[in-house]
A and B are shown apart, each in its own frame.
Chain A
Amino acid sequence: MSTIFPSLEWLEALSRKLNSDAKYAQIARNWEGDMCVVIEPGGPLLEKQLYYLDLWHGQCRRTEILKDLPSIRPKFVLSATYDNISHIMKGELDPMQAMMTRKLQVKGSMAYMMRNVPTVLDFVRCAREVTTEILS
């Protein structure tokens, strides 16, 4: 079965992956913080998407597709255009590079983010691995 990014199926597949991947569990064992990924519309994506993930000590405790941000106050809000986030998902753009170069906007503690570079990168690895197709 194909898992198209972005979709509810993709978010659920990512949650399962994060909760079953031994490497992620090890690398992210000290991570404490939920996040909301905001994908701005563009190209084939017609509406803004908000994906919520509650990440805690190498596990994903909850996921949800949100309608708007005020309903929740996550530790991190990561925002990007669909184009940029597609580049990240395809492996064409390093997520840390994206954060450092305004292609992926970050609201939240950059200190925490910079301190946990391996966790960020392994989270993105998991996200890429569950993606079989990108909306086009």
Chain B
Amino acid sequence: MCAGSDYGNPFLTMQPILKVNLTSGETTDYIIPIEWERDYLGGASLAARLLYTDLTQSLDPLAPESPLLFLNGPLSGTSGPTVGRFVVCGKSPATRLWAESNCGGFWGTELRFCGYDGIWITGKAEKPIYLWINEGRLEIREAAAVWGKDTYESQSIIKGEIGIPGAHVLTIGPAGENGVLFAGLYCDHGRAAGRTGLGAIAGSKNLKAIAVKGTKKIPLSRPELYAPLRSIANHALREDNLSHVFHELGTASVVDYADYLGAMPKKYFHSGIFEGAGKVSGSTMAETILAGVSACHACVIACGRVVRLYDGDKRKGPEYETIVSFGPNLLNDDLAAITRLGEICDRYGMDTISAGGTIGLAFHLFEKKVITEKDTGGLFLRWGDVKVVEQLLQLTAHCEGIGEFLAQGARRFGQHFGSEDEAVQVNGLEVAYHDPRAFSGMALVYATSPRGACHNQSEYFEVDMGQADSSIGLKFYDRQAGAEKSANVARHQDWTTVFNALVMCIFANIPAETVTELVNAACGLDWDVDDLIRSGERAWNLKRAINNRLGLTQVNDKLPKALLEPYKDGGSAGYVPPIAEMLAVYYKVRGWDPITGRPSREKLQTLGLEDVATDIWG
């Protein structure tokens, strides 16, 4: 199969999607309808439109007919600011709701160079296989040699088999093969599409990996405009403080400040202080084990860490979420151990937020004597014991012993032991490490995110820290303000949805006008900032409608018990977000029906989603 260079798309820029049925081996080039490309741009937004009818309540996410869609955005792979990302979408086996997870590195860029902007997988191969797309030509290869291998080994072996320099490999690890519900897909030194269990879907299809290599030119509608704009944007990004901070200290730069504000969860969200927090910060990493930095395609920030441990080898250093997950969350202040635990997850192909979150629940329940050594196979779960954590990760990846239950994530682990309400999760996705008791905006973000308790659907904690960009209509409210910030949160979610459509890294702290001009130049549009945000709002509501179709109602919009109990100490002591009041205003702002939790017919029609309005309202 070979992608054509002229596919009748005079204005917008997305290339065809390669559809592959692994059961039949049939392949087709899918041309994206131009009106959908215009309305949704690309990435997760476009994926939601493409998958809308396929994602039904009765669909088993791990069944052959379950779709798995890899998609770029219209800026992906260009030399624009932080646009070396792609997204993977489907129905989550963990949440049984909308699933999306985007990933950096170079794989998505290389796919664009092949003349494709997406790969749409259905069916199930008879035996383990990997896909090899070379300049748009697809080859389905046996994966027996890499099945059971970790993600690092698999990438190396497949690259060796291919024998073409510059190929990039996206792969699952043993966790995806074994059906761990928070298994992800990995490429380029531990870059991960980690959340919502999409690696388990790949594993259920016997799809081990996808290798790509291409040299085709990426289409741009107005390249003569795009080139100077991306130079301006990259220059602005280089000069930005946040970029400097992330370059110098990684995303873990915020550890010290987050700890000061009481925003960094400790002891599975049950303690406001942890004296060892300073030992695991980005500053400490920079002063001790840091050996270099790494960047995704064309990124001028380079937030990735390269560290050197006692064995002398250079390896990926942990980012903020991994540091908190295996550090303060488990009362561990050993930065080298955190690095090792993060690498174990990357190699097995498991999301570090969910892995640490689920293990944190196990420690919490062990302390409460809900589970005992009988349940853990003799392991004594003592806070801070990293050897036990390492054993639990191995058991989880192989679904052995207590790992069989850990592999199902916090909600199901809690259910199994009669303590679902102790699990710090929303709709089956473990809460990321930005505490809504310090940043109240995150309460709404977690409660209403289309994929569960996710921080990448709106990193509103940055707004609560003061990054209230007036050019997108944001105002600044106190970090512990209440319902008055609900409209702000909705607006920021819409803006972040644009980023997830492009697919642009959320660390790109560049003016909204510049983002809009880049989109206009790339796609041949003539939009203003409000048009762009409206595109985000459309996709946000579409994802909501998908989840409504999958059974989600207003009852699902809630926070777990632990986040509604105030800390006794630390920088956010004594406060809990008024989530009920915030939600009530949020529903009004969104135009959502408070009884069913669905976007109103009028709202959907206003956004041009008449077919969706008819579908969910009749």
Contact = CB atoms under 8 A, between A and B. Distances in A.
Interface of A: 93-94, 96-106, 109-112, 114-115, 117-118, 121
Residue among B255, B287, B465, B466 facing the most chain A CB atoms (10 A cut-off): B466
B535 interface: no
A114 B245 contact: yes
B256 A101 contact: no
B249 A114 contact: yes
A106 B253 contact: no
Contacts of A100: 241-242, 245, 254, 257, 462, 465-467
Nearest to A103: B466
Contacts of A99: 241, 245
B529 interface: no
Nearest to A95: B466
A111 B249 contact: yes
A114 B257 contact: yes
7 contacts: A96-B257, A96-B465, A100-B465, A114-B254, A114-B257, A117-B256, A118-B260
A102 B283 contact: no
B249 A98 contact: no
A101 B466 CA distance: 7
Contacts, number: 70
A99 B253 CA distance: 12
A96 B257 CA distance: 8
A115 B256 contact: yes
B278 A98 contact: no
Interface in B382-419: none
Contact of B244 (A97, A101, A106): A106
A101 B467 contact: yes
Given A114-B257, A115-B278, A101 B241 contact: yes
A118 B256 CA distance: 9
B153 interface: no
A95 B465 CA distance: 10
B446 to A, nearest CB: 22
Contacts of B257: 96, 100, 114, 117
A114 B509 contact: no
Contacts of A94: 465-466
A2 to B, nearest CB: 29
A122 to B, nearest CB: 12
B248 interface: yes
Of A102, A109, A111, the most chain B CB neighbours within 10 A belong to: A111
Nearest to A121: B260
A75 to B, nearest CB: 15
Contacts of B253: 110-111, 114
Nearest to B248: A110
Contacts of B179: none
B322 interface: no
Contact of A114 (B281, B462, B465, B467): B281
Interface residues of B, number: 25
A102 B469 CA distance: 11
Nearest to B242: A100
Given A100-B257, A117-B257, A110 B465 contact: no
Contacts of B283: 111-112, 114-115
Nearest to B246: A110
A102 B241 CA distance: 5
A103 B470 CA distance: 13
A114 B256 CA distance: 6
Contact of B242 (A101, A111, A121): A101
Nearest to A105: B241
Contacts of A115: 256, 278, 281, 283-284
Contacts of B286: 111
A25 to B, nearest CB: 20
Interface in B275-311: 278, 281-284, 286-287
Closest 6 CB pairs of A and B: A97-B466, A115-B283, A111-B283, A101-B467, A102-B241, A111-B286
Contacts of A111: 248-249, 253, 282-283, 286-287
Given A97-B467, A110-B253, A114-B281, 16 more contacts: A94-B466, A96-B257, A98-B466, A99-B241, A100-B241, A100-B242, A100-B466, A102-B240, A103-B466, A105-B241, A111-B282, A111-B283, A115-B256, A115-B284, A117-B257, A117-B260
B317 to A, nearest CB: 14
A135 B603 CA distance: 49
A31 to B, nearest CB: 14
Q: Which of A93, A102, A103, A104 has the most CB of B within 10 A?
A: A102
Contacts of A110: 244-245, 248-249, 253
Nearest to A104: B241
Contacts of A103: 466
Nearest to A107: B244
Most A CB contacts (10 A, CB to CB) among B241, B281, B287, B509 go to: B241
Interface string B27-46: 00000000000000000000
A90 to B, nearest CB: 14
A87 to B, nearest CB: 10
B476 to A, nearest CB: 9
B509 A102 contact: yes
B263 to A, nearest CB: 12
Contacts of A105: 241
Contact of B282 (A93, A106, A114): A114
A104 B241 CA distance: 8
Scoring A94, A103, A114 by chain B CB atoms within 10 A of each residue's CB, the highest score goes to: A114
A94 B468 CA distance: 13
A128 B230 CA distance: 41
B246 to A, nearest CB: 9
A97 B241 contact: no
B405 to A, nearest CB: 38
A99 B509 CA distance: 13
Contacts of B462: 100-101
A102 B466 contact: no
Given A111-B282, A115-B281, A106 B256 contact: no
A109 to B, nearest CB: 8
A117 B261 CA distance: 10
A78 to B, nearest CB: 11
Nearest to A116: B256
Contacts of A118: 260
Contacts of B281: 114-115
Given A106-B244, A114-B253, A117-B256, A101 B282 contact: no
A104 to B, nearest CB: 8
Contacts of A114: 245, 249, 253-257, 281-283
A38 B607 CA distance: 47
A99 to B, nearest CB: 6
Interface in B225-251: 240-242, 244-245, 248-249
